[in-house]
């Protein structure tokens, strides 16, 4: 029996299999009117907001606030999505808690809140954002060890998950399930990357976190998504959609189909199947609202690292010295902030002459340096042969 055997118990019961209905709604832009109309159509499809929000409930709005980037860069959940969903919570007489924990952030998150526009949205809602680091943590037993989760996410009545649809260097795509990994405070995320450096092992840890903070509702921002080398250094891609569903895995499955990524090839679903949270034999997902075929894109760019997946394993193993993709710091773009060095889970980076230098014997290509860089200065360097045959 391995560390991830299904017979190992969690401190919380495992939910039932969860293929559910998703509302896929066209939303052409982030104007207040467009977002509100889209959300109204979504709730008309899946049921009124009162199904998910009871009067007096403390409801955590959990956006993706990965790093201090402007909303138009498609790194974080757009503030208009947050504001519109917050207004719905207030209309249902719920009480809003708004929080997240960017990788590498300390206790003072004001710069992150301001840069992403989330602070302004919170002000319009009449609330103050919550620092997950300031609320204390709880260490919870999970398969393979423990996960540390902010009490801000545990001490609420329900969670409304507000993920962003993006690519991800390690897990290929990041969405609703991965967004709950943000409930792990700050620097502890790097420790979990060290504990689980491969796509599948890391996805297993993400699932462990997710099982402790399962959202009541998921509202995915896919108006402006990210393609290429996400989740931070990719390119914005207009999709013009919002996805809403009770179940996070269902949302991620539809989102993957929206950008023509096979969900069966995503490690997050492989980990969910292992844990009994997902089955490909269940009834097909029902998509309500607008037609998936009308919104689907077929030329969505996946991360460069996924090129290696197209190379036969025996070829890659035999020629790994000349077939590679590895991170490299751009000397011009780098601001010498050392955030990548401080957060490297393998301690494979050091600052030398104001530029991070990488020990590729230690580097596991987890993407943390790329993810946390505020200047997009970490580039993925691809060998010539890898370009030619992938």
- pLDDT tens figures, 164-173: 999 999 999 9
Q: For 78-99, what is each residue's pLDDT tens digit?
A: 999 999 999 999 999 999 999 9
Confidence of residue 366 (pLDDT cuts 50, 70, 90): confident
Segment 219-247, tens digit of pLDDT: 999 999 999 999 999 999 999 999 999 99
CATH number at 304-389: 3.30.70.20
Residue 7, pLDDT > 60, answer: no
pTM of the model: 0.89
With 50 as the cut, is the pLDDT of residue 4 above it?
no
The residues facing 350 across adjacent strands are 357
CATH H-level, domain 22-295: superfamily: LarA, N-terminal domain (3.40.50.11440)
pLDDT of residue 10: 36
CB-based contact 190:164 (threshold 8 Å): no
Which residues, including other chains, have CB under 8 Å from residue 204's CB and lie 6 or more apart? 4, 143, 144, 196, 271, 274, 275
Structure-token pair, residue 320? 């790994």
Q: Locate tokens 């197209």: which residue?
A: 310
Mean pLDDT across the stretch 17-38?
90
- Residue 307's pLDDT is 62
> Is residue 17 scored above 50 in pLDDT?
no
Position 309 confidence tier, pLDDT thresholds 50, 70, 90:
low
Lowest mean pLDDT among 16-25, 42-51, 87-96: 16-25
Average confidence (pLDDT) over 337-347? 89
pLDDT bucket at 319, cuts 50 / 70 / 90: low
* 151 has a pLDDT exceeding 80: yes
Name the segment(s) of the chain with CATH classification 3.30.70.20: 304-389
How far from each other are the two terminal CA atoms of the chain, in whole angstroms? 36
Parallel, antiparallel, or unpaired for β 130-131 and 355-358?
A: unpaired
Cis peptide before 237 (omega within 30 of 0): no
Looking at residue 6, its pLDDT comes to 28
Question: pLDDT value at position 318?
Answer: 66
Please enumerate in sequence order all residues whose Cβ is within 8 A of that of 14, keeping only pairs 6 or more positions apart, or say none.
211, 275, 276, 277
* The predicted structure's pLDDT at residue 113: 96
Per-residue confidence (pLDDT) for residue 114, from 0 to 100: 96
Report which of residues 81 and 314 the model is more confident about: 81
Using the predicted structure, report yes or no on whether residue 373 has a pLDDT greater than 80.
Answer: yes
Residue 18: pLDDT above 50? no
- Between 81 and 315, the more confident residue is 81
pLDDT score of 313 more than 90: no
Q: What percent of the chain has pLDDT over 90?
A: 68
Instruction: Find, among 320, 321, 340, the residue nearest to 330 by Cα.
Output: 340
Q: Give start-end residues of each CATH 3.40.50.11440 domain in the chain.
A: 22-295
pLDDT at 107: 62
Q: Give the span between the Cα atoms of 161 and 304, in whole angstroms.
A: 28
- pLDDT tens for each residue of 94-144: 999 999 998 766 667 899 999 999 999 999 999 999 999 899 999 998 876
For residues 322-344, give the mean pLDDT: 87
Tens digits of residue pLDDT in 49-71:
999 999 999 999 999 999 999 99
What percentage of the chain carries pLDDT values higher than 70?
Answer: 88
* pLDDT at residue 315, as a whole number: 61
Residue in 218, 212, 194 with CA at minimum distance from that of residue 275: 212
**What does the H/E/C string look like for 205-243?**
HHHHHHHHCCCCEEEEEEEEEEECCCCCCCEEEEEEEEE
Give the count of beta carbons closer than 10 Å to the beta carbon of residue 11: 11
- Predicted local confidence at residue 316, as pLDDT: 55
Residue 289 per-residue DSSP state: E
Mean pLDDT of 19-37: 94
Q: What pLDDT was estimated at residue 51?
A: 94
Average pLDDT, the chain: 89
Contact indicator for 52, 219 with CB cutoff of 8 Å: no
In this prediction, residue 180 has a pLDDT band, given cuts at 50, 70 and 90, of very high
Report which DSSP code applies to 270. H
**To 10 degrees, what angle do helices 248-258 and 267-274 make?**
150
């Amino acid at each position: 029996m391995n560390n991830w055997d299904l017979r190992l118990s969690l401190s919380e019961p495992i939910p039932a299999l969860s293929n559910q209905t998703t509302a896929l709604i066209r939303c052409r832009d982030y104007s207040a009117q467009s977002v509100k109309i889209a959300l109204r159509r979504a709730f008309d499809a899946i049921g009124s907001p009162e199904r998910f929000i009871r009067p007096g409930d403390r409801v955590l709005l959990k956006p993706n606030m990965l790093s201090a980037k402007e909303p138009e860069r498609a790194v974080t959940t757009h503030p208009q999505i947050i504001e519109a969903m917050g207004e719905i919570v207030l209309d249902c007489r719920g009480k809003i808690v708004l929080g997240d924990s960017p990788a590498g952030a300390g206790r003072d998150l004001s710069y992150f809140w301001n840069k992403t526009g989330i602070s302004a949205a919170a002000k319009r809602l009449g609330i103050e954002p919550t620092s997950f680091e300031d609320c204390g943590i709880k260490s919870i037993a999970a398969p393979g060890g423990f996960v540390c989760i902010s009490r801000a996410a545990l001490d609420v009545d329900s969670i409304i998950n507000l993920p962003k649809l993006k690519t991800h260097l390690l897990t290929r795509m990041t969405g609703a399930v991965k967004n709950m990994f943000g409930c792990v405070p700050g620097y502890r995320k790097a420790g979990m990357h060290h504990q689980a450096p491969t796509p599948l092992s890391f996805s297993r840890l993400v699932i462990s976190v997710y099982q402790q903070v399962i959202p009541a509702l998921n509202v995915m921002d896919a108006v402006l998504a990210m393609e290429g080398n996400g989740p931070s250094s990719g390119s914005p891609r207009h999709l013009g959609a919002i996805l809403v569903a009770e179940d996070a895995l269902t949302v991620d499955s539809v989102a993957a189909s929206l950008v023509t990524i096979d969900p069966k090839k995503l490690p997050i679903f492989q980990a969910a199947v292992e844990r009994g949270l997902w089955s490909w034999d269940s009834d097909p997902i029902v998509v309500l609202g607008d037609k998936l075929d009308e919104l689907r894109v077929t030329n969505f760019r996946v991360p460069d690292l996924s090129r290696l997946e197209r190379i036969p394993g025996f070829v890659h193993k035999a020629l790994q010295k000349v077939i590679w993709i590895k991170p490299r710091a751009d000397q011009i773009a780098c601001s010498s902030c050392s955030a990548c060095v401080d957060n490297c889970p393998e301690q494979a980076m050091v600052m030398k002459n104001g530029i991070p230098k990488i020990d590729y014997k230690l580097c596991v290509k987890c993407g943390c340096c790329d993810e946390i860089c505020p200047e997009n200065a970490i580039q993925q360097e691809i060998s010539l042969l890898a370009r030619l045959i992938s």
